[in-house]
């Protein structure tokens, strides 16, 4: 009963402040203040205040809040352990993607990664004409890709 009286008084005071603000030609602010001041009265009329008071003094409700808090702490603890171990979702997804990309889909032989197979270096050739230099670059690229 006291909570309903307090909410009604807060609403009446808010509406009074809204009227003073509207008298000062600040209609947008007055409308906003009136809207906020009607919220406590609306909560009283819907019965939400009575429900909140009954819940606040209920032992069963506090056990429920305790269980919710415990569940929240368990979730936080698992997140902390996950971060500390370094196995986040992003890392697991990256590992799966790297495992799938171990063999290129269009390759005739599996790619074993960099450094697994020694690459042949093109032999140093004496400087010749510009045309032979262009072809030697192309040959080096083709040999690098095994063509």
49-65: pLDDT as tens digits: 888 888 888 888 899 89
Q: What is the pLDDT of residue 90?
A: 77
Tell me the pLDDT tens digit for each residue of 88-105: 677 778 877 877 766 555
Structure tokens at 114: 């960099």
The predicted model scores a pTM of 0.44
Percent of the chain clearing pLDDT 70 (strictly above):
76
Ramachandran angles phi, psi of 59, nearest 5°: -65, -40
What's the rounded mean pLDDT across residues 21-48? 93
Q: Would you say 110 and 103 are in contact if contact means Cβ atoms under 8 Å apart?
A: yes
Q: Would you say 116 and 123 are in contact if contact means Cβ atoms under 8 Å apart?
A: no
Q: What is the pLDDT of residue 132?
A: 63
């Amino acid at each position: 009963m006291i909570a309903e009286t307090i909410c009604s008084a807060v609403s009446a005071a808010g509406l009074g402040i809204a009227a003073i603000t509207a008298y000062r030609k600040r209609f947008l602010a007055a409308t906003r203040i009136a809207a906020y001041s009607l919220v406590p009265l609306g909560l009283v009329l819907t019965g939400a205040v009575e429900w909140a008071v009954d819940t606040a003094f209920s032992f069963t409700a506090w056990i429920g809040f305790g269980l919710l808090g415990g569940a929240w702490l368990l979730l936080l603890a698992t997140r902390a352990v996950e971060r500390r171990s370094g196995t986040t979702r992003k890392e697991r997804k990256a590992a799966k993607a790297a495992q799938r990309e171990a063999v290129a889909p269009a390759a005739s032989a599996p790619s074993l990664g960099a450094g697994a197979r020694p690459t042949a270096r093109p032999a140093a050739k004496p400087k010749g004409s510009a045309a032979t230099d262009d072809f030697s670059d192309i040959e080096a690229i083709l040999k690098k890709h095994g063509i």
